[in-house]
Structures are given as C-alpha cells and as structure tokens.
Amino acid sequence: MRYQILALFFLMAGIAYVQRAAISVPAEQVAKDLAISNFGNSMGFVQSAWYLGYALLQIPAGRLADRWGSRSAILLYCILWSLATTLTGFSSGLWTLTSAWFLMGALQAGAFPCAAQAIGQIFPLGERARASGILAAGMAVGGAAAPAIVGRLLIALQPTAASNNLFTWQLLLFLLAIPGILWSLLFAFSVPKRHLPARHTTADTIPLTTMFRKMLTSGPLALLCAQQFLRAAGMVFFLSWFPTFLQKTRGLDLKASADFASIAGIGGVVGSLSGGWASDLLLKITGNPRLSRQGVAVVGMTLCSLLMLASVAVSSTWLSIGLISAGVFCATFGGVSGYTVAIEFGGRQTATVFSMMNMVGNFGAMLFPWSAGWLADRFSNWNLMILFFCGIMAIDAVCWALLNPRAPLFPDPPPESPT
C-alpha cells in the first residue's frame, strides 16, 4: 500500500507543478492582455508573489498536517489551491493577478510537508531517499511537462477562448484546475484513513513555543534551511523565466521555447530518480549517512554550477540545452538529499521541520524571479540569469559540505514502561 500512496503523491506533485507553472510560458501575453507595463519587473513581481504566499503558509500548513495527519490535510489543500487556480483566471490587472497568484501559492504550501510526513511514516530508513526521489521526480515531471503542455494548450484553446470572449491564458487556468479536484477524489477513495492516521493522539504533544525555540537555535537546521533557500532560488528559474530566457537569448518562438524547456526538465526527472536510488545504495554500502546524503548533494550542486556556466559559452542551441539538461540532472540528483535529511532530522515533527526548511527555501524562490528579471532589464542581458544561477548553486554546495546533523531534532519519545 505504501507504494500506491507514493504513486498518488507522485501524481499530485506533477499536477501541482503544472498548475504553478501555468503563467510562466504565456507571461508576455498575460502582461499585454492586462496592460501591465515594465514586463520584466512586473511579471517577476507576480511570480515572486506566488512564492511569498507559499513560504508564509509553510509552517501553519505543516503544523496542521502534524495535527490532522497528512491524509486529511492534503485533501483540503488540494481542493482549495485548485479553486484558487480558477480564481486567477478572473484577474483584471497587475494587483488582482498578483493577489490571486499569491493565494494559490499560499494554499499549495501544505502539499509537500504532507507528502514528506507520509514518507517518514510509511517507509523505513533505508528506503526514504528512493521514496523522496520518486516524489521529487513527480515535481520534475510536472516542471518538465508544464512548458510543453501549456504551450500546446495555449495554441489549441485559442479558437474556444476567442469564441467565448476570453483570453487564452484565462481558459487555460480554468482547465488546469480540474486535475487537482479529480486527484482529491481519487486520493480520498483510494487511501483509507487507517493507512495515514494522525501521528499524535493530542495536538499539544510538543508546545509550539518549545518547537520554535528548538528550531531557531539549531545549527544543523539553519544550514538545512540555507541550502534550501539557495537551491530553491536557483531551481525556480526553470519554473519562471526559463522559457522567456530561451526566447530572448536563442530567438525561439513560444512553442519551441516550451519544448526546449521540457527537454531540460527531463534531466530533472532522471536526476531525482537516480539520486534517491544512489543515496540509499551508498548508505547500504558504507553505513555513512553524511556521505550518502550530504556528500551526494555537494557533488551534484558543484557539477550543476559548472555545467550551467559552460552552457553560456556555446553557440549551438542544442548543445546549450544539453549542458543545461545535464546541470539540471546534477542539481536534482543531489537535491533529493534535502527532503531525505529533513524527513530523518524532523523525527516525530517531520511536517513542521520540513515546512520550516521549505518556508526558507521559498523565500529564496520568491526573490529569484524578481531579482533575475531586474538584472535582465537593468543590464539588457538575459545571460546574466545563468551566471546568477551558477553562483547560487556553488554557494549551495558549500552549505551542504558544512551540514552534519547527528540526531533527530525531535526524537520519538521512549516507550512507556509496563506497569
């Protein structure tokens, strides 16, 4: 049953990533249709708002998952964020678009804390990296497929949108809300409550003030959050500006840029799956958690930075995409360790610890679209986005090299003595 549950979370991750990437491909058209000026700054601001909402609601969403259990919480979250996707389609200008996209991000905040909690609950230690890799592969599949799906849907929906006096991207958002609702129904009927019960019998097992005090004074958690801040900031490039980057630097049209973006995303899928497998295998062979988790991440982030830097120097679009795809592979190969370490380090409060890490990460993801858009506009050079990305990933590798948690932050309580 645990692999059936993991498969459903894999599907959920893919749906969530397609939904969150829905305005990146038509970003320029959205700005034109809503008369939004200063394209780079304004649409970067909109995309950053999504990550701000996503970051701010991480800890409340994770705390709710720890109290209710991942099954009940994820059903609520998925239905609400799908409805918010529909709401975004009714935007009439910059501020309504920003507000709706912020709300969608806030409601999607609980998705992966719930999934992380479930993995920690149903998978043994030696299988958690593989399970985390499969979950990350779902994200990568969604991220890779989103540009191609969105690009083709935008073309296919044009006649229907025009006949109904709608912008094509509006109809797209209405359509993309449907899979999330259907997934919620499938999950509710496929996973009985007994397979993912609430983890605690009382909501106040650990007082919130005690939890925060311990989290805010933990050195390993600070480094775990720092690596997530940097990695999320870098990887959001592929969910925000990458199709536009290809249009600006390689002269590609909308469909071609979407297809090339999806090709690069395939590296993320393969990297996530192989990274989890390699990490668990290395743990089995060496018995060394630091080597099998942090060591894999250091190598992955370093190689990613170097490969992405090399992609700028080549003139061939295909060779550049090949190098970028290899860089994405390395980043996701090592990135699986973030989820695995958070699950193992969180102990009995996995969802909340994971949420703290993910919250900080999404502040990084929030800042990148705006700052990268500002760089491109300020210096009229879209290649600066890649150089910015390379620096971020190099520093991320340093954080991983320093990270060494030796025990769970919230270990399970000792079993009660028989009376």
Give the span between the Cα atoms of 169 and 164, in whole angstroms: 13
Location of structure tokens 């296919």: 156
Give the span between the Cα atoms of 238 and 107, in whole angstroms: 21
Q: What's the token pair of residue 79?
A: 């239905």
Mean pLDDT, rounded, for 90-112: 90
On whether the CB atoms of residues 171 and 370 are closer than 8 A, the answer is: no
Give the span between the Cα atoms of 230 and 365, in whole angstroms: 8
First to last CA, the chain: 35
Can you spell out the DSSP letters for 179-211? Answer: HHHHHHHHHHHHS-GGGS--S-SSTTSS-HHHH
Can you spell out the DSSP letters for 99-147? Answer: HHHHHHHHHGGGHHHHHHHHHHHHS-GGGHHHHHHHHHHHHHHHHHHHH
Residue 109, domain member (yes or no): yes
- Place 195 in a pLDDT band, splitting at 50, 70 and 90: low
Q: Note if the pTM is more than 0.85.
A: no
Domain coverage including residue 280: 2-191+211-402
Mean pLDDT, rounded, for 249-256: 81
Can you spell out the DSSP letters for 223-282? Answer: HHHHHHHHHHHHHGGGGTTHHHHHHHHH---HHHHHHHHHHHHHHHHHHHHHHHHHHHHH
Residue 134, domain member (yes or no): yes
- Where is pLDDT greater, at 237 or 303? 303
Q: Looking at residue 27, what DSSP letter applies? A: H
Residue 413, domain member (yes or no): no
Mean pLDDT, rounded, for 124-132: 81
- Place 204 in a pLDDT band, splitting at 50, 70 and 90: very low
On whether the CB atoms of residues 344 and 360 are closer than 8 A, the answer is: no
Instruction: Please classify residue 197 by burial: count the beta carbons closer than 10 Å to its beta carbon, then call 0-12 exposed, 13-18 middle and 19+ buried.
Output: middle
Type of residue at 280: D
Q: What's the token pair of residue 68?
A: 């209710």
- Where is pLDDT greater, at 401 or 205? 401
Lowest mean pLDDT among 22-31, 74-83, 191-200, 390-399: 191-200
Residue 219, domain member (yes or no): yes
Lowest mean pLDDT among 163-172, 191-200, 284-293, 348-357: 191-200
- Place 326 in a pLDDT band, splitting at 50, 70 and 90: very high
Residue 414: predicted pLDDT: 58
Give the span between the Cα atoms of 352 and 334, in whole angstroms: 23
Location of structure tokens 């991480």: 58
Residue 419: predicted pLDDT: 46
Type of residue at 3: Y
Residue 254, domain member (yes or no): yes
Residue 360, domain member (yes or no): yes
For 288-307, what is each residue's pLDDT tens digit? 888 888 999 999 999 999 99
Residue 205: predicted pLDDT: 59
Residue 407, domain member (yes or no): no
| CATH code where residue 378 lies | 1.20.1250.20
Mean pLDDT, rounded, for 79-98: 91
Of the ranges 56-60, 367-371, 400-404, which is most confident? Answer: 400-404
CB count, 10 Å around CB of 15? 22
Give the span between the Cα atoms of 65 and 58, in whole angstroms: 10
Residue 3: predicted pLDDT: 83
Residue 240: predicted pLDDT: 75
Instruction: Please classify residue 37 by burial: count the beta carbons closer than 10 Å to its beta carbon, then call 0-12 exposed, 13-18 middle and 19+ buried.
Output: exposed
Location of structure tokens 């491909």: 25
For 21-51, what is each residue's pLDDT tens digit? 778 778 888 888 888 887 777 887 887 788 7
- Place 202 in a pLDDT band, splitting at 50, 70 and 90: very low
Residue 411, domain member (yes or no): no
The total domain count for the chain is: 1
- Place 109 in a pLDDT band, splitting at 50, 70 and 90: confident
What b/e readout covers 147-165, taking b as 16+ CB neighbours within 10 angstroms?
A: bbbbbebbeebeeebeeee
Backbone φ, ψ for residue 91 (5° rounding): -60, 145
Give the span between the Cα atoms of 331 and 302, in whole angstroms: 8
Mean pLDDT, rounded, for 2-29: 85
Mean pLDDT, rounded, for 197-225: 75
Give the span between the Cα atoms of 27 and 44, in whole angstroms: 9
Chain centre to alpha carbon of residue 108: 10
Say what angle helices 254-286 and 128-156 make with each other, to 10 degrees. 170
Mean pLDDT, rounded, for 228-255: 84
Give the span between the Cα atoms of 264 and 277, in whole angstroms: 21
- Check pLDDT > 90 for residue 206: no
